[in-house]
Chain A
Amino acid sequence: MRAPGRWQVATVTAIKRETPRVKSFRFRLPMWMPHLPGQHYDVRLTAPDGYRAQRSYSIASSPLDEGEIELTVDRLDDGEISTYFHDVLEEGDQVELRGPFASYFVWRGESPVLLVGGGSGVVPLMCILRHRRRIMPEVPMRLVYSVREAADVIYADELGAEATLTFTREPPAGWTGHRGRIDEALIGAAAAGTGGGLAFVCGSNGFVESAARLLLDAGFPAAAIRTERFGPTG
């Protein structure tokens, strides 16, 4: 049975540590259905006294992984779901999920595509990139990925030639690539590499604001820039 939107009890099949504060969790779903890259699932936790908490997490895995999804979760010190995921959840545990949801920040095979991610904003972008590698490797796609330092790079072993990294705080020893925040040169070079098309931007609000501004300046029409923002604005 397939049922988008109905709560189902999923089982954790694998946990991978990506960085000191980020882990990826693979779930087997009894009512799995294929998602569009960029969609999210809702997670619900229930305490013994009935107290419940819900959050949304982007899907990281390709919809070709039948029956399973991967969620990549950044541990926020004051978060209650992310700390549960990181500190409590083990393989074999069960979690209530429902999805996949939302159909705007999604890739439907458009070409070319420029992905711009800050921090854990790379998660839905990696979903798009992974899916493209498996079904349409000929689609021009570039990823610009901004992180603070080497230890913060999520999916480090999967970032191939289509990814351009920049380190805003401390680049790794011997780094000759970009450093500092994303700028006109970085976005311009990546945009030239894909040749227009659609841009997907995900990260904190501040990151998305500046990336969207740079994309507009690089000639992307506003309607070709899809954004997803997270976190408080301070």
Chain B
Amino acid sequence: MSGFISRGFRGRRRTPEELADRLPPGQYYEPGFPVLTAGPTPDVATDTWTFRIDGMVAEPREWTWAELHELPLEQVPCDIHCVTKWSKLGTSFSGVSLDVLLEAAEPLGAYAMAHSHGGYTTNLAIEDLTGGRAWLATEHEGEPLPREHGGPARLLVPHLYFWKSAKWVAGLRVMDHDEPGFWEANGYHNRGDPWREERYWSD
């Protein structure tokens, strides 16, 4: 848009060329896995853990940790993009597809609010949670998901900015209307597509 050039700026952290087309606009390549959380890290024990889908569904459903592990675990190689500008490319998670979980509950509404232990919420369209694009992830790169990255289980919705991939997720409440979750009410974009650079309300 603008023809602005930063005097004396040449850029020194360019993405490796073979990865360049996997980096959305405004993102930079981050080999590590930074942690971003709005509050203290909750401690969620797997023996009392459940994941629940309720709200506007044909049948509210709840899974214990053991019941979740009876469902097929998929390996999900993916790139993840944080709205704070870093992207982690070529990482992998394992989890249960949200297609499997949502099919069991039969959503009657087109929107969902994901809610987490610790009180975090984020809103997603059912369309963004289905079609092989969203998982309930319990492993990262072959190891149990670390607590600071949302363990024991987090949402994984890699095609949206990573705040949508709610850590310590406890359930989904299906709704017939959309409403903003935590960051969506605090200045961040309602949908958060990194390829459209949907970072903030004004984008």
Contact = CB atoms under 8 A, between A and B. Distances in A.
Interface of A: 3-7, 9, 44-48, 51-56, 78-80, 83-84, 88, 93-96, 101-105, 205, 209, 212-213, 215-216, 222-223, 225-227, 229-234
A71 to B, nearest CB: 15
A225 B202 contact: no
Given A104-B187, A205-B34, 8 more contacts: A47-B5, A48-B5, A55-B85, A56-B84, A84-B6, A88-B9, A205-B148, A222-B119
B32 A53 contact: no
Interface of B: 1-2, 4-14, 26, 28, 30, 32-42, 84-85, 118-119, 148, 182-183, 186-188, 200-203
B98 to A, nearest CB: 26
Given A5-B203, A54-B26, A45 B13 contact: no
Contacts of B14: 51
Nearest to B14: A51
Contacts of B36: 229
B6 A209 contact: no
B201 A5 contact: yes
Contacts of B183: 104
10 contacts: A7-B1, A46-B6, A95-B6, A102-B186, A215-B40, A223-B39, A227-B38, A229-B37, A232-B30, A233-B32
B200 A101 contact: yes
B6 A47 contact: yes
A93 B9 CA distance: 12
A212 B9 CA distance: 38
B16 to A, nearest CB: 14
B85 A103 contact: no
Given A102-B188, A229-B37, A5 B6 contact: no
